[in-house]
Amino acid sequence: MKRLYTDEHAAAGVDAKLPDIETWPNQYPGYEIEIVMPEFTSVCPRTGLPDHGEITLRYAPDKLCLELKSLKMYTLAYRNLGIFQENVVNRILRDVVKACRPIAATVTGEFTPRGGVYTTITASWSKKASRSRNGSKG
């Protein structure tokens, strides 16, 4: 059986240029921020059909907090980007961690059904787990 999805489809959007997520200095320790983006849209890299969903970001800031307008502009850039749903969630997590180096972060994508299939994808990162994997500071 011939594969319909290629390696190019699988890698689509993973390294695309997106707007930077800006930050500002955190003033308080020991709390969590939850940001819900209920109108997230991207595009299936194979079919070109839109994917709609809700992205929820939960993070415990360390020294920096995410600036919300830049985060909005960042997520809007996915609107015409061909990228699989799994890659969306992991890419957002990667970019959030790079931008603000939180203590911990979790991104959940709940995508609306297409063809009777409802998908929820969750990816998490923490400094503690990163240190134990790398044997160094996260």
3-state secondary structure of 22: coil
Residue 51 appears among annotated catalytic residues: yes
Rounded Cα gap, residues 40 and 52, in angstroms: 6
Catalytic, out of 51, 62, 65, 100: 51
Rounded Cα gap, residues 66 and 89, in angstroms: 17
Residue 44 appears among annotated catalytic residues: yes
Lookup: tokens for 105: 């972060």
Q: Are the C-beta atoms of residues 24 and 67 closer than 8 Å to each other? A: yes
Q: What is the CA radius of gyration of the chain?
A: 16
Rounded Cα gap, residues 11 and 20, in angstroms: 20
Catalytic, out of 7, 15, 44, 62: 44
DSSP annotation of 82 reads: B
Rounded Cα gap, residues 99 and 115, in angstroms: 35
Active site residues: 44, 51
